[in-house]
Amino acid sequence: MTQATNPQSPLKLYKFCPKCGGDFTHRGGNHLQCEACEYSYFVNQAPTAGLVIFDEARRVMLAKRKFAPYKGTWQSVGGFVGLDESLEATAMREAKEELGVTVRIENFLGSFPEVYEFGGVAVPFLAIYFAARIVDGTPRPSDDVAAIGYFTREELTELDIPYPGLRKILMDYMKHPQ
Ligand SMILES: [Zn+2]
């Protein structure tokens, strides 16, 4: 399974104000506040775009990660939304970077709060999934992808998928052939 780590929530780890260096106090929920300058910092989920792509046999395409974190696990193609990007732009960019293809987004599948373990921090992210179709190019692993694979619903149960939400959405979506 995934690497054994003990990541901590930013609510516990972030102790100092990024504006003045004063001490943070946890005000409840996702709210940290500086005792010195009263600046409020909210720990929010970072959105990600994930693409669910099928082949002609309606097996789902997943990408095997080449690097840590989660090296060797299988994930959807996708990634974090950039500071100046829409979800759609992120999805298009990631498809290009990871597979070398152009995709068309077909429909929204759902979203799940998840945790991304990075540098000892449990980074909260909102995994947002779309069904997509390849409209140009042949998928080939590139960038941070070690391999791409196509899996039936049965094969997914044996696969090391680090995100429970992704597994759930695939199992649900593939229950009914379309
Ligand atoms: Zn401050």
Looking at the structure, do residues 30 and 100 belong to the same domain, yes or no?
Answer: no
Looking at the structure, do residues 124 and 83 belong to the same domain, yes or no?
Answer: yes
Residue of 80, 72, 74 whose CA lies nearest to 124:
80
Looking at the structure, do residues 73 and 132 belong to the same domain, yes or no?
Answer: yes
Looking at the structure, do residues 65 and 125 belong to the same domain, yes or no?
Answer: yes
* 93 is a domain residue: yes
Looking at the structure, do residues 67 and 134 belong to the same domain, yes or no?
Answer: yes
> How far is ligand 1, taken at its centre, from the CA of residue 125, in Å?
25
* 3 is a domain residue: no
> How far is ligand 1, taken at its centre, from the CA of residue 54, in Å?
49
Looking at the structure, do residues 133 and 163 belong to the same domain, yes or no?
Answer: yes
Looking at the structure, do residues 115 and 168 belong to the same domain, yes or no?
Answer: yes
pLDDT of residue 177: 60
* 2 is a domain residue: no
* 5 is a domain residue: no
pLDDT of residue 148: 94
> How far is ligand 1, taken at its centre, from the CA of residue 33, in Å?
8
* 96 is a domain residue: yes
Looking at the structure, do residues 29 and 86 belong to the same domain, yes or no?
Answer: no
Structural domain that includes position 140: 46-173
Looking at the structure, do residues 102 and 167 belong to the same domain, yes or no?
Answer: yes
- pTM higher than 0.85: yes
For the chain (length 178 residues), average pLDDT per consecutive 10?
68 96 97 98 96 93 90 94 96 94 94 91 95 94 89 94 93 81
pLDDT of residue 5: 57
Looking at the structure, do residues 97 and 113 belong to the same domain, yes or no?
Answer: yes
Residue 129: count other Cβ atoms within 10 Å of its Cβ.
24
pLDDT of residue 70: 86
Looking at the structure, do residues 21 and 69 belong to the same domain, yes or no?
Answer: no
pLDDT of residue 178: 57
* 70 is a domain residue: yes
Tally of domains in the chain: 2
> How far is ligand 1, taken at its centre, from the CA of residue 35, in Å?
7
pLDDT of residue 69: 83
pLDDT of residue 2: 46
**Does an H or E element contain 18, and which?**
none
Spell out which residues have Cβ within 5 A of ligand 1, the ion: 17, 19-20, 22, 34, 36-37, 39
Query: Cα–Cα distances in Å, from 143 out to 28, 29, 65, 97, 134?
Result: 39, 37, 10, 6, 18
* 178 is a domain residue: no
- 113 in Cβ contact with 42 (< 8 Å): no
* 161 is a domain residue: yes
Amino acid (one-letter) located at 175 = K
